[in-house]
Chain A
Amino acid sequence: MAAPNVLVMTGYGINCDEETKFAFEKAGAKAKIVHINDLTDGHDRLSNYQILAFPGGFSYGDDTGSGNAFANRVRNNLWEETRKFVEGDHLAIGICNGFQIMVNLGLVPALCGQYGDRQAALAHNDSARYHVRWVDLEFGGSSPWTTNIGTISVPVAHGEGKFYVTHSALMRLKEKGMIAAKYVSGEMCQYQNLPPNPNGSLEDVAGILDESGRLIGMMPHPERAIDFTHLPNWPLLKEKLKREGKPLPAEGPGMKIFRNAVEYFK
């Protein structure tokens, strides 16, 4: 199959659309930034795409709860197309605000296949403040998105990223392998001497899947970790590699996620 078409959603304050598109293209996909209103008024259709991305940003300024107002816009205008899309053999990803949108829209976790139900929440960080830093993520779960990633470092930047579900929902997430990524102490936490969990998320959950594994939502930003010079410790690594006579890495660890998505359609 040819390179998959990616719809990168934008509008109303989404602001990571360009770098998300760039990451998908770098991985070999064909990506297009589409304003949600071009979908609601029929200028473009979800059915033209294989991958749907809700990028990060501040849709509606987080008013009425982060991601909620944009989710409502999708729910009130595009619900049938969206449901059909996610039930088909397609992939979808929500990053940061995009994750918040997917949670409020009920695309993840959608336990028992209940797309549309709000079953999780991303609450204010424990610090009650917007927080930007790098974290280490251990990927898991059964999903084309998370295959063979292991533990990588990427940045987070959010004020409302504290993952919460009820106890029973958490049990089911674990049982069904729907936890996509957890905050752990790895290279970057040790480098910067920071605790692993940046926001107080339940059981260090950073990202989750739907039951099919084709939909993923995560607070951290892999699209901001696709170049070597994105890493906070690249100047140190560069000195080390140079002195060892080794070449610098061509890209950053976040690329793995985008490559996985493109790989799925090969």
Chain B
Amino acid sequence: MPAKIEIKTDNDTRAEVRRAKLAPLSSGKISSLEIVDVYAVDAELAESQLPAVASMLTNPVTQKSSYSKSLFPDNFDWVVEIGFLPGVTDNVGTTAREGIEDLLNAKFGSVQGVFTSQRTFLSGTVSKEDVQRFADTLYNPVIQRVAVKTKDEFLHEADKIVIPRVKLDTLPVADIVNILDLADDELAVIGKSGIANSDGTRRGPLALDITYMKEIQAYFRNKGRNPTDLELESIAQTWSEHCHHTIFADQIDDITDGLFKHYIKRSTNEIRAKKGEKDFCVSVFTDNAGGIIFDERFVVCHKVETHNSPSALDPFGGSITGIVGVNRDPMGFGMGSKPFLNQYGFCFADPNDETIIYKGKNYTQPMLSPRRIMDGVIDGVNVGGNCSGIPTPQGFLFFDQRYKGKPLVFVGTAGLIPRTVNGKPSHEKTAMAGDYIVMVGGRVGKDGIHGATFSSEAMDSGSPATAVQIGDPITQKKESDAIVKEARDLGLYNSITDNGAGGLSCSVAEMAKECGGCYVKLDQVPLKYPGLAPWETWVSESQERMTLSVPKDKWAAFSDLMKRRGVEATIIGEFTDSGKCVVDYNGKNVMDVEMDFLHDGLPERPMKSQATMTFHKEPSLEELDDLTGTLYKMLARQNIASFEFISMQYDHEVQGGSVLKPLQGRGRVNADTTVTRPVLDSNKAVIMSQGINPKYSDIDTYHMAACAIDTAVRNAVAAGANLEHLALLDNFCWCSSNEPERLGQLKNAVMACYDYATAYGTPFVSGKDSMFNDFKGFDADGNPIKISVPPTLLVSSFGVMEDSKKAVSLDAKFAGDLVYVLGETKNELGGSEYFAMHEATGAFVPEVDAEKNLKLYKALSNCISEELVASAQSVHKGGLGVALAKTAMGGLLGMEVCLDNLSGMFWRDDFTLYSESQGRVVVTVAPENKDKFEKLMEGNFFARVGVVKEDKSFVVKSAHKVVINGDVDEMLKSYKSTFAGY
């Protein structure tokens, strides 16, 4: 008999916050709002056991609970009930279940459980429409169910217990798919829309084009049989753009070895060869993350991923799955590294834009608003990062209306691993034939299959499971600790990788390459609920899972350890040297495909690119005498403004290694670069930064990429990085990558990656691409629209600092310090934030002179190493004006600066202040260090432009005129106004 426990918290902060959030959505008044948490317990509990269970879930100081009848306030008009849809991970429910099992010393049945939901009671002069609107902001239809009830409706069934149990009526078998005799057009339909179900509907895209489908047809004709659905799905996963990166791998124009090998990998190879003995790379491009030497004891690795499409549909679920998912990349690096540092970067549309766009015709399937997406994405990384105990200091926000169809959600994680584990280099691993294939961590459900969503009938126990899951950081934290802090060093496995895209089908097949084959008993895979078809089990992207190869004689010890750590580990097959990937299900063979075909059978699809020229006129802007107001406006721009509300909710102190934090100085200004010590007894640190500016792509993607690299490198150098020990990661988020023009833009950007990585000697060690960030739908008037993101490249820099005490923060330190601008300022406002403020693009995009910059960066590094630099702020978005302002605001000190001495070519004060010329850094230097500093900088373009002041005046002069007469407190007010209240 199911039971129900309800809990009400006194002075519930959540209720207060919710009331404040909902109030603006209605013209009426909410006079009170209360929240009751509900645990529905689907298990055989005796009446007499309920008080103890309720007491366990209730804090008697601040909470009341009831297990016999419902809790509700005396006065209320409406109730909003929100719970999960069937099959969606209910983390709180799972914990409650474990607690109850522990308390009563009894086990629940396999389909039993605890299901949580929440009731919000409202009273006031609000209409049903208002309450419905409230409800819409409180729940996500993809994963949650909602009911809005009047008081009478509620009282009528207040004690009803809702158990959202999954029931699936299809019989789990593998189907044979007839393709041998199909004509090309019929093959194409399968490739595009998926395998047909018995009712004629399709299972969702295989994303296999006709070239690929014909190759598969030929392969099975040769075998003399049709494939199973599982075989087709498995090949589709392995050959997908997501897994195989064909756009980067295949021939393009006359580049036969493809863009990746020809430009990115080649640049890394050349840099490593040139460095010789000083090569610090350990493992590049081959593993789940890229690894570099940290010191004589440790290797650090790093990986940055994107999770864009899921975040558009379910921002919270998409981003938490993104961050927790990318945590598994370092966990799967080499023999398993410990995640110690996260980074993030979000590209959104204007959160003030409330115009709705639709996925479907006739105003159906509305997209979430940019603000909803932004709030949800930020919250997802908050929960994922904080719960995992991994610091998340480093990040950025970037806004452009072309992210309205699809936001970009970048998430990255760095890991730490000893250089040798059990006497062997830790980055090497080999699954051996005869090892058990072991799945560790979470269970498999219908999550993320084809990334599509299943339709769900709310509140009905017969609903199918939904496709989007909420990540469970704690399941993964337990798994991570048990593996990288214990099993690894006990030598209990031979190889490890994570389950990401394509689930088992990819992780097992990938590891099987190491030994030459695998044999899987798919019915052994633990499921979240019964009824999954074999192909679903095989390709499901359920989270929190790693795949390991465990030698038979180590299984007992491995299994025992996992049990004692509360981590589920299951043998699902064996690695072999058969040359084949073989899968059985309930004693029946459902897959038997040669490894060679699976991994390398896909035919090349040569691509043609087309060069395009874009030309935007320089805008003619009024030249103001007083630029004070302009500076305030620039500081409040979404792309420049403070996002300390994020920095103050993402824990950047955990693990005890924080050196340079995301907010710096008295003014708490957002920094471009953070420094973290991963080894507690070492003074060495990892320095991390990022460079991105998609607006430059509107003029030229080559220079866009060059600027991203230069910015990522420069930011790091300004904070104290050593160019000799700095690596890069690339994340391409492109659009419409089947169009020759877009491929032409891509080719240019990749060429820049080669040119500038080589010039700086900073090797790319890992990367990821996402090639189709396009939205096809309908605008607010129902007209068809396509929104493509601007070609976006995120370059992340990460390197090793010898002495963390030499790190340099951005804030001016003392009045009287001298202000310098290093580098040349040119008339390069194309794609700048200043032009964007005037709704213009402009003609002259910043160009990067690597040779000159390299010399300057090395000189700056020397100065930092000699401890001559009191503060440093790299110049990027918003140009010199913003960089000088950040230095002053950071120190809460004034500044007096004259533009006349600047190096470079310029003729208008506003252009001088807001040009985004690369290769520049604003530094302050103590007067006593002036001579030494200037001597070390000799031979570079640099200028002493002013001095730090005790009062808070911010004065910029040009040709003896005052062009900015600002006040640092006012500047900070503007800088922090944009996202105040977020």
**Of B95, B472, B565, B655, which contacts A69 at CB under 8 A?**
B95
**Of B478, B656, B666, B805, which contacts A224 at CB under 8 A?**
B656
Inter-chain CA distance A11–B389, complex, in Å, is 12
CB of B594 closer than 8 Å to a CB of A: no
Inter-chain contact B95/A63, CB cutoff 8 Å: yes
Inter-chain contact B11/A123, CB cutoff 8 Å: yes
CB-defined contacts of A60 to chain B, threshold 8 Å: 95, 98, 474
Inter-chain CA distance A18–B484, complex, in Å, is 13
Inter-chain CA distance A69–B811, complex, in Å, is 43
Which residue of A120, A243, A248 has the most chain B CB atoms within 10 A of its CB atom? A243
CB of A4 closer than 8 Å to a CB of B: no
Inter-chain contact B651/A132, CB cutoff 8 Å: yes
Known A-B contacts A15-B389, A61-B95; A123 and B9 likewise in contact (beta carbons under 8 Å): yes
CB-defined contacts of B808 to chain A, threshold 8 Å: 235
Inter-chain CA distance A120–B59, complex, in Å, is 8
CB-defined contacts of A132 to chain B, threshold 8 Å: 648-653
Inter-chain contact B59/A235, CB cutoff 8 Å: no
CB-defined contacts of B658 to chain A, threshold 8 Å: 224, 230
Inter-chain CA distance A68–B61, complex, in Å, is 13
CB-defined contacts of A242 to chain B, threshold 8 Å: 867
- For the complex formed, measure the closest distance between the CB of A126 and the CB atoms of chain B, giving whole angstroms: 6
CB of B92 closer than 8 Å to a CB of A: yes
CB of B772 closer than 8 Å to a CB of A: no
**Of A13, A16, A164, A238, which contacts B478 at CB under 8 A?**
A13
- For the complex formed, measure the closest distance between the CB of A118 and the CB atoms of chain B, giving whole angstroms: 6
CB-defined contacts of A35 to chain B, threshold 8 Å: 564-565
Inter-chain CA distance A29–B663, complex, in Å, is 34
**Of B59, B655, B871, which contacts A18 at CB under 8 A?**
B655
**Of B386, B651, B666, B807, which contacts A192 at CB under 8 A?**
B666
CB of B171 closer than 8 Å to a CB of A: no
**Of B61, B389, B926, which contacts A166 at CB under 8 A?**
B61
CB of A232 closer than 8 Å to a CB of B: yes
Inter-chain CA distance A64–B97, complex, in Å, is 10
Which residue of B92, B472, B681 has the most chain A CB atoms within 10 A of its CB atom? B92
CB of B616 closer than 8 Å to a CB of A: no
Number of interchain pairs (Cβ within 8 Å): 193
Known A-B contacts A130-B651, A224-B656; A19 and B59 likewise in contact (beta carbons under 8 Å): no
CB of A147 closer than 8 Å to a CB of B: no
Inter-chain CA distance A200–B388, complex, in Å, is 25
**Of A77, A166, A248, which contacts B805 at CB under 8 A?**
A248
Inter-chain contact B870/A239, CB cutoff 8 Å: yes
- For the complex formed, measure the closest distance between the CB of A239 and the CB atoms of chain B, giving whole angstroms: 5
- For the complex formed, measure the closest distance between the CB of A103 and the CB atoms of chain B, giving whole angstroms: 8
- For the complex formed, measure the closest distance between the CB of B113 and the CB atoms of chain A, giving whole angstroms: 13
- For the complex formed, measure the closest distance between the CB of B945 and the CB atoms of chain A, giving whole angstroms: 20
CB of B837 closer than 8 Å to a CB of A: no
CB of B91 closer than 8 Å to a CB of A: yes
Q: Enumerate A191-238 residues with CB–CB distance to B below 8 Å.
A: 191-193, 200, 221, 223-224, 226, 228-230, 232-233, 235-236, 238
Inter-chain contact A76/B103, CB cutoff 8 Å: yes
Inter-chain contact A37/B566, CB cutoff 8 Å: yes
**Of A63, A162, A230, which contacts B92 at CB under 8 A?**
A63
- For the complex formed, measure the closest distance between the CB of A194 and the CB atoms of chain B, giving whole angstroms: 8
CB of A119 closer than 8 Å to a CB of B: yes
CB of A129 closer than 8 Å to a CB of B: yes
- For the complex formed, measure the closest distance between the CB of A157 and the CB atoms of chain B, giving whole angstroms: 4
Chain A residue with the shortest CB-CB distance to B385:
A130
Known A-B contacts A58-B474, A123-B62; A130 and B382 likewise in contact (beta carbons under 8 Å): yes
CB of B406 closer than 8 Å to a CB of A: no
CB of A174 closer than 8 Å to a CB of B: no
Inter-chain contact A235/B813, CB cutoff 8 Å: yes
**Of A18, A69, A131, A230, which contacts B648 at CB under 8 A?**
A131
CB of A46 closer than 8 Å to a CB of B: no
Q: Enumerate B644-690 residues with CB–CB distance to A below 8 Å.
A: 648-656, 658-661, 663-666, 668, 677, 680-681
Inter-chain contact A69/B99, CB cutoff 8 Å: yes
CB-defined contacts of B99 to chain A, threshold 8 Å: 64, 69, 72-73
- For the complex formed, measure the closest distance between the CB of A161 and the CB atoms of chain B, giving whole angstroms: 11
CB of A5 closer than 8 Å to a CB of B: no
CB of B270 closer than 8 Å to a CB of A: no
Inter-chain contact B387/A13, CB cutoff 8 Å: yes
Inter-chain CA distance A164–B565, complex, in Å, is 33
Q: Enumerate A62-86 residues with CB–CB distance to B below 8 Å.
A: 62-65, 68-69, 72-73, 76-77
**Of B95, B388, B659, which contacts A229 at CB under 8 A?**
B659
Inter-chain contact B653/A11, CB cutoff 8 Å: no
**Of A11, A19, A131, A162, which contacts B656 at CB under 8 A?**
A19
CB of B761 closer than 8 Å to a CB of A: no
CB of A155 closer than 8 Å to a CB of B: yes
**Of B9, B17, B61, B805, which contacts A238 at CB under 8 A?**
B805
Inter-chain contact B654/A61, CB cutoff 8 Å: no
- For the complex formed, measure the closest distance between the CB of B304 and the CB atoms of chain A, giving whole angstroms: 22
Inter-chain CA distance A198–B381, complex, in Å, is 22
Inter-chain contact A129/B102, CB cutoff 8 Å: no
Inter-chain CA distance A118–B60, complex, in Å, is 7
CB of A133 closer than 8 Å to a CB of B: yes
- For the complex formed, measure the closest distance between the CB of A220 and the CB atoms of chain B, giving whole angstroms: 10
Known A-B contacts A19-B680, A157-B654, A235-B811; A121 and B61 likewise in contact (beta carbons under 8 Å): yes
Inter-chain contact A69/B98, CB cutoff 8 Å: yes
Which residue of A12, A41, A120, A233 has the most chain B CB atoms within 10 A of its CB atom? A12
Inter-chain CA distance A194–B651, complex, in Å, is 17
Inter-chain CA distance A17–B557, complex, in Å, is 24
Inter-chain CA distance A120–B264, complex, in Å, is 58
- For the complex formed, measure the closest distance between the CB of A119 and the CB atoms of chain B, giving whole angstroms: 7
Chain B residue with the shortest CB-CB distance to A229:
B659
Inter-chain contact A72/B680, CB cutoff 8 Å: no
CB-defined contacts of A127 to chain B, threshold 8 Å: 13, 17
CB-defined contacts of A149 to chain B, threshold 8 Å: none
Inter-chain contact A61/B389, CB cutoff 8 Å: no
CB-defined contacts of A15 to chain B, threshold 8 Å: 388-389, 477, 654-655
Known A-B contacts A22-B681, A76-B102, A121-B61; A63 and B813 likewise in contact (beta carbons under 8 Å): no
CB-defined contacts of A133 to chain B, threshold 8 Å: 648
CB of B804 closer than 8 Å to a CB of A: yes
CB of B96 closer than 8 Å to a CB of A: yes
**Of A58, A166, A221, which contacts B387 at CB under 8 A?**
A58
Q: Mark A98-135, 1 if CB is under 8 A from B, else 0.
A: 00000010000000000000111101111111111100
CB-defined contacts of A128 to chain B, threshold 8 Å: 13-14, 16-17
Inter-chain contact A41/B13, CB cutoff 8 Å: no
Inter-chain contact B804/A229, CB cutoff 8 Å: yes
- For the complex formed, measure the closest distance between the CB of A163 and the CB atoms of chain B, giving whole angstroms: 10
CB-defined contacts of B811 to chain A, threshold 8 Å: 235-236
Chain A residue with the shortest CB-CB distance to B103:
A76
* Other A-B pairs beyond A123-B62, A157-B654, A162-B13, 11, CB < 8 Å: A19-B655, A58-B386, A58-B477, A61-B95, A69-B96, A131-B648, A164-B61, A165-B61, A224-B653, A235-B808, A236-B809
Residues of B participating in the A interface, judged by any CB pair closer than 8 Å = 9, 11-14, 16-17, 56-57, 59-63, 91-92, 94-96, 98-99, 102-103, 382, 386-389, 472-474, 477-478, 481, 564-566, 648-656, 658-661, 663-666, 668, 677, 680-681, 804-805, 807-809, 811, 813-814, 867, 870-871, 926, 928
- Please name 27 pairs of A and B residues whose Cβ atoms are closer than 8 Å in the assembled complex, sorted by A: A16-B656, A37-B566, A43-B564, A60-B95, A60-B474, A61-B95, A63-B94, A63-B95, A68-B57, A121-B63, A123-B13, A123-B62, A128-B17, A130-B382, A130-B386, A132-B649, A166-B61, A191-B666, A224-B658, A232-B663, A233-B666, A235-B809, A238-B805, A239-B813, A239-B870, A239-B926, A240-B813
3 closest cross-chain pairs (CB), A and B: A15-B389, A19-B656, A63-B95
Residues of A participating in the B interface, judged by any CB pair closer than 8 Å = 10-13, 15-16, 18-19, 22-23, 35, 37-38, 41, 43, 56-58, 60-65, 68-69, 72-73, 76-77, 104, 118-121, 123-133, 155, 157, 159, 162, 164-166, 191-193, 200, 221, 223-224, 226, 228-230, 232-233, 235-236, 238-240, 242-243, 248
